[in-house]
Amino acid sequence: MDAGTIRILMAKLGDGFEAAVGRLSFAFREAGYEVVHVENQSPEAIVTSALQEAVDHIGITTLPGAKIEDIARIMELLKKKDMSYVRVTAGGFLDYNDIDKVKEAGVVEFFPKGTSISELIIWAKDNIKLTDDWSK
């Protein structure tokens, strides 16, 4: 692992639709991030991977119609394990009302279906940091 390289866990929550997380992982690697890519995971498995891989950030893809409770559970587990320094971004499908709930649960940003990859990378450069930076 290179010092100074931001590590992201890119995770697909729930069953199916693993192609989207593959595409996102590829795009973030091309943009210079180190990406650990996991598919079709439970909230518990996602948080365990984040801990074991010592990532700086978690990206969750929710295609399609994911359960808001699962995202809230990820945030709760991060808190329980004293890992709130690992910030979480998500994207994919959610009802409009659930997008507000995801942010209330602590997710930094939610990107709905159709957001362009270049828009994501521009946002990431400004908002995804090494975890050390957040504690300063």
Q: 20 or 136: whose CB is closer to ligand B12?
A: 20
Q: How many helices (H) and strands (E) does the chain have?
A: 6, 5
Site for ligand B12 in 63-122 (CB under 6 A): 63-65, 89-93, 111-117, 120
Min dist CB 60 to ligand B12, Å, is 6
Query: In which element (H, E) is residue 43 found?
Result: helix 43-52
* Binding span for ligand B12 by CB under 6 A among 16-24, 33-41, 70-78, 100-108: 16-24
* Residue in 6, 9, 20, 50 binding ligand B12, rule: CB under 6 A: 20
The answer to whether 98 and 47 have CB atoms below 8 angstroms apart is no
Looking from the CA of 29 toward its CB, the CA atoms found within 13 Å total: 11
Query: In which element (H, E) is residue 116 found?
Result: none
Q: 3 or 89: whose CB is closer to ligand B12?
A: 89
23 lies in the site for ligand B12, by CB under 6 A: yes
19 lies in the site for ligand B12, by CB under 6 A: yes
The answer to whether 85 and 130 have CB atoms below 8 angstroms apart is no
CA–CA separation, 20 and 133 (whole Å): 29
18 lies in the site for ligand B12, by CB under 6 A: yes
Total residues at interface with ligand B12 (CB under 6 A): 27
Min dist CB 76 to ligand B12, Å, is 19
Q: What is the CA radius of gyration of the chain?
A: 14
Binding site for ligand B12 (CB under 6 A): 15-20, 23-24, 59-61, 63-65, 89-93, 111-117, 120
